[in-house]
Amino acid sequence: MAFIIRLGAALLAVITGLPLLVSALAQSLLLIGYDAKPEEAISANFLEGTAQFIDEAEAEYWSVGYSKEILTPDDIDSHRYFLGGYLKFPAQEATGVIDDISVRAVVLDDNSGRGAVAFAWVDTVGLMNADIKDIREKLSDITGEDGLIAINVGSTHTHSAIDTQGLWGNIPKSGRDEAYIASVVEKTAKAIRDAYTSRTQGQLYYASKSCPQLFADGRKPDSLDDKVHLFRFVPNDTAKKEIYIANFGGHPVNLPWENTQISADFPGYLDQTVAADKNADFIFIQGAIGGGIYVNLGVENGIPEELSGYDKMKEYCHIMDDLFSELAETATTVEPILNIRIKQINFEIDNFLFKLVERANLCNAIAYKENGAVYMPSEIGYVEIGKDIKVLQVPGEVLPEIVYGNFFTADEALNGTDYPYAALNTYLPEDDDILVFGLCNDAVGYIVPDNDYGSAGSEGHYEESVSTGSKSGSTLSKAFIELFESLKNAD
């Protein structure tokens, strides 16, 4: 009976949404109905970062704060919410809660007097840049050189949380529940504010380890960051909790296709595990997961094959927690140097499906037409933590070869050409650790190398169905290279 009701609701949504769909189709095909570049909307609540970069620490200690807010709605049993991550018809409605979804925020300050930087990651499949700017607006009273000079909000990309993008409702109706979005915005802003006000001095430590057995690449060519990166903050005040900041790339898709209950997947269970084992606060920051980068729940990692996906995920988290203990013991001190620069970027949308989604108002995205092409504004970011840790903040699911190399050659690539740029890590010091903070400050979908961009219907090319288009890779590479050059010239 429940399925019949859902099917009826889905069919009704299609019927009542037909005028919207027809209009969206016409606009996408004829490129009509687009406004000019919305300069005011793009510049609103955009934070550039540190005006000047420093090479030497100006203080003895870091100041770091942490906070967490639960995002699971109280009315989950009585209100219709859609799960975001799996395209189904009728759309999958949430029927209960396995574990809470949350937002976790950490604020770093190198005590140089140039301001602090916030990083918040939300248990959701993705948040659009316009939503993140709404979060920044609520923090405008503590924004600026004497407060937060950068506010970065990303998504853990769990496929078992409430749809915050709008792509997983009964299309052509959006799956976004605006009251829930308002709650996410409010609570994320609160978590960042509380992390900012709770900063305390201490030492920051960092370690990374290559663990190829813990990850799997779902798309050729094989390329991924197989490192687990861990920052450990130890407060001077021993009454305060330590803070663990973990970064690696892996899709949180470990519940079955038929799952109907909300879960944060491994980012949430890692939080529980670290809290129980180490009495520490925890935040997971998603990495470079384009091309289907997954956590490996196989028997080769000692995980019993007969377990359910959720129980396998829990075993994986215990393996990761043990690794965190190892990294915490071997970590070295990070000098209090924090440089960050954010740059605006415009992705050309030549993927018809992406145009259709935007024209149908499924997600909170801004597109505009210029010189006969359609674009969507977004952001990238570059962060230096200490002297030899570099972070690329990417507004989507970047295929790892764009950052770490191993592109298809012209002979191997779908389009018979070489990728026009070198891997981004080659533009940075060879001995530095290069991290990716993925789905950061936007969720523009998969960012695919131009030379291997094809039809979404082609075998091994699913990612193209959720991408701005054939120039997403080179647009990202070019923007980062320009950013690196501008910082070099500023020196």
Model confidence at 11, pLDDT cuts 50, 70, 90, reads low
Decide if pLDDT at 10 tops 60: no
pLDDT at 22: 81
More confidently predicted of 256 and 245 = 245
- Report the percent of the chain where pLDDT is more than 70: 97
pLDDT at 7: 54
pLDDT at 12: 59
pLDDT at 16: 74
Decide if pLDDT at 21 tops 90: no
Mean pLDDT value of segment 318-336: 98
Decide if pLDDT at 309 tops 90: yes
pLDDT at 4: 64
Model confidence at 373, pLDDT cuts 50, 70, 90, reads very high
Mean pLDDT value of segment 20-24: 80
pLDDT at 366: 86
Mean pLDDT value of segment 200-212: 98
| Mean of per-residue pLDDT scores for the chain | 94
pLDDT in tens, 275-296: 999 999 999 999 999 988 999 9
Decide if pLDDT at 8 tops 80: no
Decide if pLDDT at 2 tops 80: no
pLDDT in tens, 102-146: 999 999 999 999 999 999 999 999 999 999 999 999 999 999 988
pLDDT in tens, 27-75: 888 899 999 999 998 999 999 999 999 999 999 999 999 999 999 999 9
pLDDT in tens, 155-200: 999 999 999 999 988 888 899 999 999 999 999 999 999 999 999 9
Model confidence at 3, pLDDT cuts 50, 70, 90, reads low
Decide if pLDDT at 1 tops 80: no
Decide if pLDDT at 13 tops 70: no
Model confidence at 18, pLDDT cuts 50, 70, 90, reads confident
Write down the pTM of the prediction. 0.96
Decide if pLDDT at 339 tops 70: yes
pLDDT at 9: 58
- Report the percent of the chain where pLDDT is more than 90: 86
pLDDT at 90: 82
Model confidence at 332, pLDDT cuts 50, 70, 90, reads very high
List, in sequence order, every residue forming a beta bridge with 227; answer none if it has no partner.
210
